[in-house]
């Protein structure tokens, strides 16, 4: 009986593993095209209209209907040297992700409509802590 259960479990793992691979997105065709970049993975400098505020920044990840959607990495080119790694929806950060700024600021948590929203953890640079001192929690 144990061998039968082990065989069934192994078969399920193999089948699920191959099914997940079958759903991988294809590479987006050549250069960015709002019409054709859908259900694909690609990398480009964001043109006007693809995101709420990040036109000119670099995005690498999944695309649907010409906008970042799903998992991706947004790196500041025009808007500064920041990096956001996480989920996107309709061109903006939405879901869970990590935002890191060059000054040491870091936010790891939930996003909605391209804004920090919900649960998350913020880390400040040492220089900010030195300037303002440590903050005691209030209970």
What's the pLDDT tens digit per position in 68-116? 999 999 999 887 899 999 999 999 999 999 999 999 999 999 999 999 9
Residue 11, C-beta contacts closer than 8 angstroms, at least 6 positions apart: none
14 is a domain residue: no
| C-alpha to C-alpha distance for 51 and 69, rounded to whole angstroms | 10
Q: Rank 11-20, 95-104, 126-135 by mean pLDDT and report only the highest.
A: 95-104
21 is a domain residue: no
| C-alpha to C-alpha distance for 93 and 36, rounded to whole angstroms | 22
Higher-confidence residue of 132 and 19: namely: 132
Domain holding 45, by residue range, is 27-132
17 is a domain residue: no
Instruction: Read off the pLDDT of each residue in 37-61 and give the average, rounded to a whole number.
Output: 93
What domain count does the chain have?
1
Among 58, 114, 54, which Cα is nearest to 87's? Answer: 114
Average pLDDT, the chain: 82
* Structural contact between residues 93 and 83, judged by C-beta atoms closer than 8 angstroms: no
* Structural contact between residues 93 and 86, judged by C-beta atoms closer than 8 angstroms: yes
* Structural contact between residues 83 and 74, judged by C-beta atoms closer than 8 angstroms: yes
Q: What is the pLDDT of residue 130?
A: 60
Rounded to two decimals, the pTM is 0.73
Instruction: Read off the pLDDT of each residue in 9-20 and give the average, rounded to a whole number.
Output: 41
19 is a domain residue: no
79 is a domain residue: yes
Higher-confidence residue of 2 and 40: namely: 40
2 is a domain residue: no
5 is a domain residue: no
């Amino acid at each position: 009986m144990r061998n039968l259960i082990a065989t069934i479990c192994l078969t399920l793992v193999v089948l699920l593993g191959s099914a997940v691979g079958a759903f991988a997105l294809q590479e987006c065709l050549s250069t960015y095209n709002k019409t054709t970049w859908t259900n694909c993975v690609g990398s480009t400098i964001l043109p006007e209209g693809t995101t709420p505020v990040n036109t000119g920044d670099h995005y690498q990840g999944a695309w649907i209907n010409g906008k970042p959607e799903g998992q991706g990495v947004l790196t500041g080119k025009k808007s500064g040297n920041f990096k956001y790694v996480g989920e996107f929806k309709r061109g903006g950060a939405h879901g869970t992700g990590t935002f890191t700024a060059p000054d040491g600021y870091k936010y790891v948590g939930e996003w909605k409509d391209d804004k920090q929203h919900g649960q998350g953890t913020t880390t400040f640079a040492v220089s900010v802590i030195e300037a303002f001192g440590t903050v005691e929690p209030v209970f």
